[in-house]
Structure 1
């Protein structure tokens, strides 16, 4: 009977099922999604021209013992630093950053507000806010007036 073993009468060994997952199709799908997101991401960051509505808001509750730091920008783009009731002379943007940094190093919980003239260039206010953040101001509030309802 030893000759019968070679003839293939013995049942064949069963193959084990494959326990591996073929990930090649998933890689293809991920590459397609990556390309789609790379194409659409720059479109999502572009701004849209809008007319912002006027609205009223609740005033910020501030601590009584800490005087806020207010930086004003007039219609000519000149900067004024106000601490409490003291208003100084016009100063440059680097001087604003240095003085606010010195004040915040002594009083880290002081609030910083920006009072910008309605007709000042938007870029002037944005540069001021960027300088205030580099000086250490974590939260910057914008001071506005309530809208007139006399229309």
Structure 2
């Protein structure tokens, strides 16, 4: 707070108090907080829950025509990365863990739809292997995830 004459008053004898607000430190604080939130939100999005592309994974889906399947909350989305790894719920899983997840999904809801999101570079055999694991667990409703053909 600064002491001085009140602006606009030319009388020599009257002194008053007026406040001076310096907003530079406040602006600096807000800019630092903005940067922190930007960095942490990026990390949260990349590591967050969800399957396939929702978890920040780079899966180059092949182009397709019509989008017949709309994902429900009970559906199980499996992403197959270009290197052949399986991703379920944003986490890389082994074949045994994937089999266990299919068994659990069948027990929870027999009408679960398994959506396979495979990278364009993944071999056909790997996609068929995931589909066979789902069918062995009793999940007969399968879908292939594609991106719009536009």
1:70, CA displacement in angstroms? 0.5
> What RMSD in Å do the two structures reach over aligned CA positions?
1.8
- Name which one, 1 or 2, has greater alpha-carbon Rg: 1
Aligned with 1:81 (options 81, 88, 112): 88
Measured in 2, the distance between the counterparts of 1:55 and 1:103 equals 27
SS of 2:148's equivalent in the other structure is: coil
Matches within 5 A, 1:1-150: 55-61=64-70, 66-82=73-89, 87-88=90-91, 90-148=92-150
**Offset from partner CA, 1:100-119 (integer Å, 9 cap, x none):** 11122111122111000000
**Offset from partner CA, 1:45-73 (integer Å, 9 cap, x none):** xxxxxxxxx651133245x5x42100110
Distance 1:98 1:55, change over 3 A: closer
1:121, CA displacement in angstroms? 1.4
**Offset from partner CA, 1:77-125 (integer Å, 9 cap, x none):** 000113xxxx22x111122011111122111122111000000111111
Measured in 2, the distance between the counterparts of 1:58 and 1:132 equals 21
Normalised TM-score (structure 1) = 0.52
Measured in 2, the distance between the counterparts of 1:61 and 1:147 equals 17
